[in-house]
Structure 1
Amino acid sequence: MKLISFLNQGTPSYGIVNGDDVLDLTPILGAQAPDLKTLIARDLLGAAADAAKTHPPTLKFSQLTLLPVIPNPNKIVCVGLNYGEHVRETGKQITESPALFLRMTESQAAHGQDIVRPPESSRLDYEGEIAVIIGKGGRRISEADSWSHIAGYSCYNDGSIRDWQVATSQWTPGKNFWRTGGFGPWMVTADEIAPNQKMTLVTRLNGQEMQRATTEMMIHSIPRQIAYISAFIPLEPGDVIVTGTPGGIGNKRTPPIFMKPGDVVEIEVDAIGVLRNGIRDEA
């Protein structure tokens, strides 16, 4: 099942995607689940699937204005330096524990929405990644139990303002400029992607392939990430874990390649779909 968040005549809503058809779940589930995060938290994915069997679709995907898959996550935890090629190109060392940083909600952009280059820098870089959306919360989740805590998966572009990222030892500024992180187009529920299923991640800039990797190439696996993060903070339904980017970032190419207004960047994960964003300057 594919689930999206979107605006319906200016009002936030969410629904199920089937081709170009969308079933708006808000009028069906009402106060039980006013948004996708609540649907996940209240374990109503089954109710959503049942609704799709008895209610005809009411909207067209191609006509919707999407929101980030989870517009209101409590936490967005990002994993850095999680593919060997990326570690090597940055001159860093592989660490025993995952390198983590946080993103803020305001830094996200939806599928089809422009990623925004700020006036403070022209060094806007792409980072194709796979996002994990937490379904069942918990603290100190074991690696063995981690798969049962996942609601679904999405595509993510951890867009980075490189000079602000490396200005100090802390990455927060470069990772949190307004509307630099693409998240979408939808969440594919975990029942459609098997635990440990090999997924292939590809980043394209203006149609040219820039990154390619599989989940088998991760240094710290998805279960390891969930176990590590939940050891120090409880994970909650709707939390997002962004699992790391492979080698091939623009900043480490010769010459460097940065995203500029008019560019189109795509993050494709074979088991999920394609996240597509244009680039524009902040007005």
Structure 2
Amino acid sequence: MKLLNFVAPDSGAVRPGILTDAGIIDCGAIGFSSLSMEALIAQPEALSSLQRAIEQAIVDPAGFALHLLDEASLRFAPALTNPGKIICIGLNYRRHAAESGLPVPTTPVLFSKFNNSLAAHREPIPLPPTARQYDYEVELAVVMGRRARNVAVEEALEYVFGYCTANDLSARDLQTRTSQWLLGKTLDKFLPLGPYLVTADEVRDPQNLSLQCWVNGELRQHSNTADMIFSVAEIISYISQHFTLEPGDVICTGTPEGVILGMPEKVWLRAGDEVTVEVEGLGQLTNVMA
């Protein structure tokens, strides 16, 4: 199932929807008006009820035709708007570590972003004057579906609700100002997330997904999650040995080579640049720098 969040034009409230071949089904219009994406993740029975409603829509498409929305006219919201934790993994691709001139980590490198960094598909991203070295990072984001503590690697993927495309935008001059990366990573709207949240059953193998990033139509990143140093399962297991993961927590699993930081001549992002990132099967996420 491909889920998404959008801003309802009548109320301004964020509501979940489902992508179908016929259009976007507004969950609020088919009896799930109080359902948020976070509640959907935390309540398996809600997802089951929603699935039954979708199956009914397939049987009786005319009955749901009035509840279909045109995706092109939607104002998207971030795939999640209130995750409990946003955990990011640094230097998790072999070729990205090489282009950065850094050794391959022997344990996962963890840092965090906050909810202020969340942004939606097609939402402008402000570049504040406090920095100038603005960079992109296409990433596979993992959304937890179950409480996880001391989880074995072999069982870790069973705790995943779904996956989405993320752009871990970074201000490199702020990131490298001190040994702590936080300042350069969690500026307002510096984590576009979406456009869809794809349930785990539709992702055959998270370690065999292509990733791409374009800047103003020019391909900058093109890799595969197979180049990860630590797999999704290993990351979940490692984190869960140290602190508890809750439903709705987001893990951004690192970026491949091709970022501006690794280029011999660095032309940083600036206002007006359009950045599109895509993870195979999860949709393209586009934002313009402002």
TM (norm. structure 1) is: 0.94
Alignment of 1:234-245 (within 5 A): 234-245=244-255
Residue in 1 that maps onto 2:8? 8
Alignment of 1:1-283 (within 5 A): 1-9=1-9, 10-19=12-21, 21-27=23-29, 28-31=31-34, 34-43=35-44, 44-55=46-57, 56=64, 57-196=67-206, 198-280=208-290
CA deviations on 1:141-195 (whole Å, 9 max, x unpaired) are 1111111111111100000011000000000000011112211111111111124
Per-residue deviation at 1:50? Answer: 1.4
2:154 alignment partner, SS class:
coil
Per-residue deviation at 1:62? Answer: 1.4
Return 5+ residue gaps in structure 1 as ranges: none
Identity %: 36
Q: Distance in 2 between matches of 1:196 and 1:61?
A: 26
Partner AA of 1:203 in structure 2:
C
Per-residue deviation at 1:46? Answer: 2.3
Does structure 2 conserve the Cα–Cα contact (< 8 Å) formed by 1:79 and 1:243? yes
Per-residue deviation at 1:124? Answer: 1.0
Q: Which structure is higher in strand share? A: 1
Partner AA of 1:13 in structure 2:
R
Does structure 2 conserve the Cα–Cα contact (< 8 Å) formed by 1:125 and 1:249? yes
CA deviations on 1:65-94 (whole Å, 9 max, x unpaired) are 111101100001000000111111222212
Does structure 2 conserve the Cα–Cα contact (< 8 Å) formed by 1:263 and 1:278? yes
1:184 alignment partner, SS class:
coil
Q: Distance in 2 between matches of 1:278 and 1:166?
A: 24
Does structure 2 conserve the Cα–Cα contact (< 8 Å) formed by 1:3 and 1:16? yes
TM (norm. structure 2) is: 0.92
Q: Distance in 1 between matches of 2:96 and 2:83?
A: 27
Runs (4+) of structure 1 moved beyond 3 Å? none
Residue in 1 that maps onto 2:61? none
Return 5+ residue gaps in structure 2 as ranges: 58-63
Does structure 2 conserve the Cα–Cα contact (< 8 Å) formed by 1:21 and 1:61? yes
The 1:259–1:196 alpha-carbon spacing in structure 2 relative to 1, beyond 3 Å, is: closer
Q: Distance in 2 between matches of 1:130 and 1:196?
A: 8
Q: Distance in 1 between matches of 2:229 and 2:110?
A: 13
Partner AA of 1:3 in structure 2:
L
CA deviations on 1:235-276 (whole Å, 9 max, x unpaired) are 111111000001111122121021111111111112211111
Q: Distance in 2 between matches of 1:275 and 1:30?
A: 26
Per-residue deviation at 1:49? Answer: 1.7
Q: Distance in 2 between matches of 1:159 and 1:121?
A: 13
RMSD over aligned Cα atoms: 1.4
